[in-house]
């Protein structure tokens, strides 16, 4: 039952803001008893389906910001390649147990994401656009976030969205659309690593996805009604609480 409710709540966030899996679903699964590696691996598998649904909804609503999104996507693919190299060189051959590291890393990333959200500077994004620098930053942004998401499942919403908010002039629906597409592609390319490590729970996958899909649809429709200010404060507060709970748990 808890897994289903976690899925519904995460779906609402994914559909409306692009954040949800790494921000809420994966950490809460860890807090109710699942190992960090299983939570991340299963969360990435869920992201492929759920964020595809969110992407299709945003496509129907016309929320795309333009061709710049493909620069972000190219960076994300590069980030996944980095993680596959790390897995092939260190994790899989040496059978390392990285659950504790994964839990702490996810907690720190969530707190940093909250700080990034609160430091969003819309005027800075406008200045970068005026100087023609915004587009040049999109690839390294995608590269960094893609690497982090492939390792922990967090990034496509909780990290990518605040960074884009400070480097572009995209509105919440546009950032949510890019975040959904980014999470879907990065998740699809990186989930195979967790399959190889044996960190995937089919039963958990089905339960979470059952609650998550209707939430994504409802959240996508609600994204146009979200105030940018409330969006930033709400996500930052929730991210901080979950991050601190993971550190102390």
**Average model confidence (pLDDT) for the chain?**
78
Domain extent listing, the chain: 2-248
Q: Are 189 and 53 in contact (CB under 8 A)?
A: no
Q: Which residue has the tokens 């996500």?
A: 235
Weakest-pLDDT range from 66-70, 112-116, 223-227, 237-241: 223-227
Percent helix, strand, coil in the chain, to 5, is 85, 0, 15
Q: How confident is the model at residue 226, as a pLDDT?
A: 67
Which of 19-23, 35-39, 46-50, 169-173 has the weakest average pLDDT? 19-23
Residues near 104 by Cβ (< 8 Å), separated by ≥ 6?
246, 247
pTM metric for this prediction: 0.76
Q: What pLDDT does residue 78 have? A: 93
Residue 51: which pLDDT band, with cuts at 50, 70 and 90? confident
pLDDT band at 27 (very low <50, low <70, confident <90, very high): confident
Q: Helices 202-222 & 2-17, crossing angle to 10 degrees?
A: 40
Q: Which of 40, 18, 19 is nearest to 29 (CA)?
A: 40
d(CA 217, CA 58): 10
Q: Most confidently modeled of 82-86, 108-112, 205-209? A: 205-209
Instruction: Quickly list H helices, 87-171.
Output: 92-94, 99-118, 122-130, 134-152, 160-167
- The maximal CA–CA distance of the chain, rounded, in angstroms, is 51
């Amino acid at each position: 039952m808890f897994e289903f409710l976690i899925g519904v709540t995460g779906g609402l966030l994914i559909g409306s803001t692009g954040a949800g899996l790494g921000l809420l679903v994966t950490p809460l699964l860890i807090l109710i008893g699942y190992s960090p590696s299983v939570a991340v691996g299963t969360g990435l598998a869920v992201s492929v389906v759920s964020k595809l649904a969110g992407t299709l909804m945003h496509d129907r609503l016309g929320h795309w910001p333009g061709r710049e999104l493909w620069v972000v996507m190219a960076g994300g693919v590069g980030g996944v390649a980095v993680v596959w190299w790390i897995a092939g060189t260190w994790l899989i051959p040496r059978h390392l147990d990285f659950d504790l590291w994964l839990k702490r890393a996810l907690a720190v990333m969530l707190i940093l994401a909250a700080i990034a959200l609160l430091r969003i500077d819309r005027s800075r994004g406008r200045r970068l656009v005026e100087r023609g620098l915004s587009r040049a930053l999109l690839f390294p942004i995608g590269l960094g976030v893609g690497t982090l998401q492939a390792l922990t499942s967090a990034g496509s919403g909780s990290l990518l969205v605040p960074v884009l908010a400070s480097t572009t002039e995209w509105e919440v629906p546009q950032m949510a659309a890019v975040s959904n597409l980014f999470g879907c592609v990065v998740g699809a390319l990186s989930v195979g690593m967790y399959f190889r490590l044996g960190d995937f729970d089919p039963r958990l996958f089905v339960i979470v996805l059952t609650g998550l899909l209707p939430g994504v649809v409802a959240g996508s429709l609600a994204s146009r009604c979200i105030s940018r200010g409330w969006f930033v404060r709400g996500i930052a507060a929730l991210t901080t609480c979950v991050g601190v709970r993971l550190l102390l748990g």
